[in-house]
Amino acid sequence: MIQLVVNKILNNAGYYVDCASSGKEAFEKFENSMREKAPYILILMDLTIHEGMGGIETTKLIRKINSTVK
């Protein structure tokens, strides 16, 4: 529910939004964005994902690829 609300708010503000349902999916999307030379400039993430790779672990992996991501 929160993901949908934030998505709508940011889209209405003119931002391109890409959503993921897990840390693994978020990391894969981030890797693809870097490969395609279209990196994300901001990542909003729930740090307490209960199943699979959580937000803290995902953030650490993302920062290994790009330490400047916000």
Q: What's the token pair of residue 23?
A: 């840390």
Average pLDDT over residues 23-51: 87
Q: What's the token pair of residue 35?
A: 């490969």
Judge whether residue 17 has pLDDT over 90. Answer: yes
Judge whether residue 14 has pLDDT over 90. Answer: yes
Average pLDDT over residues 4-32: 93
In the Cβ-directed half-sphere of 68, how many Cα atoms lie within 13 Å? 4
pTM score, whole prediction: 0.81
Judge whether residue 51 has pLDDT over 90. Answer: no
Q: Give the pLDDT of residue 47.
A: 78
Percent pLDDT > 70 in the chain is: 99
